[in-house]
């Protein structure tokens, strides 16, 4: 999963750079408003790329990892219903 998120991140950031470069090296010669619009779109890509790269997938089971404290882990297992409560 990490590799797929990393590839998506780099693809989005590469698209961002290409949009900036094309906007001010080629498109501005024909239409400055189109170049500005391309830059606005390119400006919105990095925050979305960061969200894509940092989101957790369904396979990322970080909440089930033990904390290292046996008493705390036992308490959380009881709350999650993994262990029956001892009476």
Structural domain harbouring 7: 2-60
The CA distance from 26 to 35, in Å, is 9
Is residue 84 situated within a structural domain? no
Number of structural domains in the chain: 1
Tell me what pLDDT residue 86 has: 60
Is residue 81 situated within a structural domain? no
pLDDT at 85 over 60: no
Tell me what pLDDT residue 53 has: 86
The CA distance from 27 to 68, in Å, is 57
Is residue 29 situated within a structural domain? yes
Count of H-run helices and E-run strands, the chain: 3, 0
pLDDT in tens, 33-83: 999 999 999 999 999 999 988 887 666 656 666 677 888 778 777 877 776
Tell me what pLDDT residue 29 has: 94
Is residue 75 situated within a structural domain? no
Is residue 19 situated within a structural domain? yes
The CA distance from 75 to 85, in Å, is 10
């Amino acid at each position: 999963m990490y590799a797929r998120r990393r590839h998506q991140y780099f693809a989005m950031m590469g698209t961002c750079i290409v949009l900036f470069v094309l906007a001010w090296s080629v498109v501005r010669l024909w239409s400055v408003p189109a170049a500005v619009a391309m830059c606005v779109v390119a400006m919105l890509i990095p925050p979305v790329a960061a969200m894509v790269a940092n989101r957790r997938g369904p396979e990322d089971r970080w909440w089930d990892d033990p904390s290292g404290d046996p008493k705390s882990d036992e308490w959380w297992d009881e709350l999650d219903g993994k262990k029956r409560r001892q009476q």
